[in-house]
């Protein structure tokens, strides 16, 4: 079957109708073909808009030329182009290819509004390569399902409408239409696993099995169907072990058979929007976290995610920003105060209880963080309590305790963030006090 815009239209008509198509445009042959074909059927896609998106990773000296080419093609086709430049930071031990992909999708996701559909130009050969790469990494059915044709993406959807077409078919269309595209020289770099597979392994396999791309793509669909069945079953299992605020019960997880426990963990992590851990990290979660002693607070981290345990519950979060607990901040008590290390914003208001307004206005206010040994006599209480005991009693996880802002007035602990006011700084019953509010400007 040759690729035509009519075939593309037929595929798109089977997907949810979007408000706007965001067409990922790298400038390579496949994305140029997708853009050209979308322009050819734009009247049939109304009222949906067409918008091209080009990501400049800044990794190649030719990147400005690629961006200029994408701008020229988009202009010739009468399609709006959004260009995004990235400042790519690759963590130690992280794959450059994976880092670029993740950064690219994060950037596009930020442009995706409700009702948008991102279109990317992966094809049948890409699908086959992805399945083999996942197989070589020891992936299960979820990984071997490779790339779905359509999935949720940010506020909209992400579709891959070219998965049924081969690289050869798309190339034939490009040549037949006289299209111009960019050849990325890094695609010849055999240090990258996908390039090695594409250049060295797939041609050899195709000599023996000419339909290998089609066959592997079919296997990916079978794995996707199997994973869908698993996902449907696991949804009920997650509900059985789920705790408030989306946490999971350690006791509930350890009662499950090991394979079922791993499936629940994977589904939970994916549902929360984090990258799935590999088998090694899943094994560590089961051994180091789930089997840890009750008084321990273990941590397992992987790319962009940390999993912690406290009070028989699992917590899933982005890695905490490094924080210096020796930091001291002066505060006028009126202007909103931005806390360091992504800890949020302190503001004030007025209301019942709170801090004595005279002491607030006349004292020297500083924000500090736990050093250990702090004590607070809660308003209306006769005895002081260690801050450690107060935080434990409130169920504040250990990793958050040193990050809670402490309000000192004239070198005395006056309030613990928005949790407690300490004597003798509490407003009297007949006073309108100063209320402290702490909001997260970028929740972790």
- Burial grade of 172 (CB within 10 A; 0-12, 13-18, 19 or more): middle
- Spatial neighbors of 358 by CB under 8 A, at least 6 apart, are none
d(Cα 108, Cα 318) in Å, to the nearest integer? 20
Query: Which tokens in the block code for residue 48?
Result: 């949906």
Name the 3-class secondary structure at 338: strand
Q: What is the pTM of this model?
A: 0.68
- pLDDT single digits (tens) 191-234: 888 899 999 999 999 999 999 999 999 999 999 888 888 888 88
How far apart, in whole angstroms, are the C-alpha atoms of residue 181 and residue 166? 17
Confidence of residue 90 (pLDDT cuts 50, 70, 90): low
Q: Can you say how many angstroms the Cα of residue 196 is from the centroid of all Cα atoms in its chain?
A: 28
The residues near 161 (Cβ < 8 Å, ≥ 6 apart) are: 8, 11, 12, 15, 34, 119, 149
- Asked if residue 269 lies in contact with residue 305, where contact means CB atoms within 8 angstroms, the answer is yes
Helices and strands, counts by H and E, the chain: 17, 20
With CA atoms as reference, report the closest residue to 129 among 187, 198, 200: 198
Average pLDDT over residues 262-267: 92
410 or 440, which is more confident?
410
Q: Which residues lie across from 157 on neighbouring strands?
A: 117, 152
Confidence of residue 441 (pLDDT cuts 50, 70, 90): low
185-189-190 Cα angle (round to 5):
155
CA distance linking residue 238 with residue 69, whole number of Å: 48
The two tokens of residue 199 are 């250049």
Confidence at 34, pLDDT banded by 50, 70, 90: very high
Residue 311: both structure tokens together: 């009070």
């Amino acid at each position: 079957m040759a690729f035509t815009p009519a075939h593309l239209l037929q595929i798109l008509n089977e997907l949810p109708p979007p408000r706007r198509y965001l067409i990922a445009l790298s400038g390579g042959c496949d994305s140029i073909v997708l853009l050209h074909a979308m322009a050819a059927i734009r009247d049939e896609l109304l009222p949906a808009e067409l918008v091209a998106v080009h990501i400049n990773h800044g990794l190649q000296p030719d990147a400005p030329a690629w961006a200029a080419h994408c701008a020229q093609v988009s202009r010739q086709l009468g399609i709006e182009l959004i260009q995004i430049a990235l400042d790519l930071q690759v963590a130690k031990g992280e794959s450059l290819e994976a880092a670029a992909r993740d950064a690219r999708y994060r950037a596009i996701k930020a442009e995706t509004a409700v009702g948008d559909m991102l279109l990317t130009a992966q094809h049948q050969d890409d699908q086959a390569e992805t399945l083999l790469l996942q197989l070589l990494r020891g992936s299960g059915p979820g990984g071997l399902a490779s790339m779905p044709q359509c999935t949720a993406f940010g506020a909209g959807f992400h579709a891959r409408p070219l998965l049924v077409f081969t690289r050869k078919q798309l190339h034939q269309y490009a040549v037949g239409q006289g299209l111009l595209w960019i050849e990325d020289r890094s695609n010849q770099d055999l240090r990258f696993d996908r390039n090695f597979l594409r250049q060295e392994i797939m041609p050899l396999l195709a000599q023996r099995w000419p339909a290998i791309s089609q066959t592997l793509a079919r296997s990916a669909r079978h794995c996707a169907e199997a994973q869908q069945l698993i996902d449907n079953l696991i949804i009920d299992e997650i509900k059985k072990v789920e705790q408030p605020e989306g946490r999971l019960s350690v006791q509930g997880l350890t009662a499950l058979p090991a394979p079922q426990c791993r499936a629940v963990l994977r589904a939970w992590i994916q549902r929360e929007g984090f990258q799935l851990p590999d088998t090694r990290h899943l094994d560590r979660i089961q051994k180091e976290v789930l089997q840890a002693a009750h008084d321990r607070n273990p941590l397992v981290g992987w790319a962009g995610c940390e999993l912690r345990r406290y009070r028989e519950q699992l917590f899933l979060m982005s890695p905490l920003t490094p924080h210096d607990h020796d930091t001291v901040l002066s505060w006028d008590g009126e202007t909103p105060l931005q806390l360091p290390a992504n800890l949020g914003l302190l503001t004030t208001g007025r209301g019942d209880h709170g801090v004595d307004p005279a002491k607030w206005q006349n004292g020297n206010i500083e924000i500090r963080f736990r050093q250990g040994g702090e004590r607070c006599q809660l308003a209306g209480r006769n005895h002081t309590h260690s801050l450690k005991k107060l935080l434990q009693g409130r169920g504040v996880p250990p990793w958050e305790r040193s990050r809670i802002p402490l309000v000192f007035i004239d070198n005395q602990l006056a309030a613990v963030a928005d949790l407690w006011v300490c004597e003798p700084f509490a407003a009297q019953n007949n006073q309108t006090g100063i209320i402290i509010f702490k909001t997260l400007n970028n929740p972790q």
